[in-house]
Amino acid sequence: MGRVVSVQANYYQVQLEPGSGAGSNDIAPAGEAAQLLCTRRARLKKIGQHVMVGDRVRIEEPDWSGGRGAIAEVLPRHTSLDRPPIANVNQILLVFALAEPSLEPYQLSRFLVKAESTGIDVCLCLSKSDLISPEQQQQWQTRLEGWGYPSLLLSTCTGEGLNQLQTALSQRITVVCGPSGVGKSSLINRLIPNAQLRVGQISGKLSRGRHTTRHVQLLEMPGGGLVADTPGFNQPDLTCTPTDLGTHFPEIQQRLSACQFNNCFHRDEPNCAVRGDWERYQHYLYFLAALQQPLLQHEAKIESNVKLKSKHAGQSRYEPKLAPKKYRQISRRQQQQSLQDLFRDGS
């Protein structure tokens, strides 16, 4: 038995569990490497079973001298994320920089909604705290507490907050997410000295970070626990439905008991208790419009392809429209006109 810690092409690096093995021949000999480079059995490919970083797997026919093996089974997942693709995570560490690049509230709000939609615990950290004043640090923490998120100040230069973060990550599988350039790789290098992740510089023109992490990999913490370093991205997709969007805003959940409407979108409904003067309300309205637009376009497309037709006894039903001109019978006048044109061209 083992856990997939990295995936590249069709090869999977598997960290073996201590003393794992179904039989004496499967147990790793003393002194052998604790990791195997594995492929996926053809039968898993046939049934469409994908293997993700974080999966617990069963390995067959290990080659201890060559450090190779074959994944024969993927155990059921407790959780799974599509972006980044990783399984069995029980904590999301969302990292945003306070400066270089500066923190954008709308971008942070979008990341928080995406993280909340997974149903996994969220831990919010503010990196590069040494680049702003203590007064500005307090202002940001107070502001985010109003959103419903306590935050932890971090600095890889001064070491601020690293001990508290190490405690929060202990004995858990944590995925580190956030925009490019906020210091995710630098933070992991401080927590795990032998990680030696590549660190990029901030773009001078765009004031954004450059992508340095290319794939997902799990790294072991010195005090226990696993941390997943992931590629940075600046705008996560919103995959929830318009009805579920409000459940991902702590501010809405605090006001929801006073709302008198069922299935309320908290937008145009009169006397809605959720509507009001709270900071992220405009973010909510923008996300709601973005989620509803594809649904409206889909409904308009369906309506353009059907027509309402009256039947007997005043009943009516929708029927598909025929393609224009495809099934229309050519009139006799048009046929005669075509024959006259044909004879005229022949003469």
Q: Is 127 annotated as a binding residue?
A: yes
Asked whether the beta carbons of 111 and 176 are under 8 A apart, the reply is no
Domain boundary among 54, 76, 98: 76
Instruction: Measure Cα distances from 50 to 71, 90, 107, 121, 180 in Å.
Output: 11, 20, 31, 25, 27
CA nearest neighbour of 186 among 144, 145, 130: 130
pLDDT for 82: 83
Q: Is 244 annotated as a binding residue?
A: no
The CATH number assigned to the domain holding 113 equals 3.40.50.300
Residue 71 sits in the same domain as residue 95: no
Q: Is 184 annotated as a binding residue?
A: yes
Q: Is 4 annotated as a binding residue?
A: no
pLDDT for 262: 76
Domain boundary among 25, 43, 76: 76
pLDDT for 326: 55
Q: How far is CA 227 from the centre of its chain?
A: 16
Residue 140 sits in the same domain as residue 62: no
Q: What DSSP state is assigned to residue 153?
A: E
Residue 272 lies in a domain: yes
Residue 103 sits in the same domain as residue 225: yes
Residue 292 lies in a domain: yes
Asked whether the beta carbons of 48 and 22 are under 8 A apart, the reply is no
Q: Is 128 annotated as a binding residue?
A: yes
Residue 108 sits in the same domain as residue 48: no
In total, how many domains does the chain have? 3
User: What averages of pLDDT result for each successive group of 10 residues across the chain (347 residues)?
Assistant: 90 86 52 78 91 94 90 94 87 93 92 92 94 95 95 93 92 90 88 72 46 71 86 76 91 85 82 85 92 63 58 60 61 73 66
pLDDT for 317: 61
Residue 90 sits in the same domain as residue 225: yes
Residue 72 sits in the same domain as residue 106: no
CA nearest neighbour of 94 among 228, 261, 268: 228
pLDDT for 329: 67
Residue 67 lies in a domain: yes
Q: Is 325 annotated as a binding residue?
A: no
Residue type, 256: L
Residue 191 sits in the same domain as residue 64: no
Q: Is 182 annotated as a binding residue?
A: yes
Residue 166 sits in the same domain as residue 33: no
Report phi then psi at 73, rounded to 5: -155, 140
Residue 92 sits in the same domain as residue 193: yes
CA nearest neighbour of 227 among 91, 97, 35: 91
Q: Is 229 annotated as a binding residue?
A: no
pLDDT for 83: 75
The CATH number assigned to the domain holding 47 equals 2.40.50.140
For residues 28 and 184, what is the distance between their CA atoms, to the nearest angstrom? 34
Residue 273 sits in the same domain as residue 166: no
Residue 252 lies in a domain: no
Q: Is 80 annotated as a binding residue?
A: no
Residue 48 sits in the same domain as residue 120: no
Domain boundary among 76, 100, 118: 76
pLDDT for 39: 93
pLDDT for 299: 47
pLDDT for 57: 96
| H runs (alpha helix) in the chain | 42-46, 105-117, 134-147, 162-169, 184-191, 250-255, 281-304, 332-346
Residue 207 lies in a domain: no
Domain hosting 6: range is 2-76
Residue 246 lies in a domain: no
Residue 346 lies in a domain: no
Q: Is 181 annotated as a binding residue?
A: yes
In the chain, what is the greatest distance between 2 CA atoms, to the nearest angstrom? 98
pLDDT for 24: 45
CA nearest neighbour of 202 among 108, 93, 97: 97
Residue 203 lies in a domain: no
Which single residue is written with the structure tokens 């709000």? 109
Burial class of residue 113 in the structure, from the number of CB atoms within 10 Å of its CB (0-12 exposed, 13-18 middle, 19+ buried): buried
Residue 101 sits in the same domain as residue 217: yes
Q: What secondary structure does DSSP assign to 242-259, as a single string?
A: TTTGGGG-HHHHHHGGG-
Q: Is 176 annotated as a binding residue?
A: no
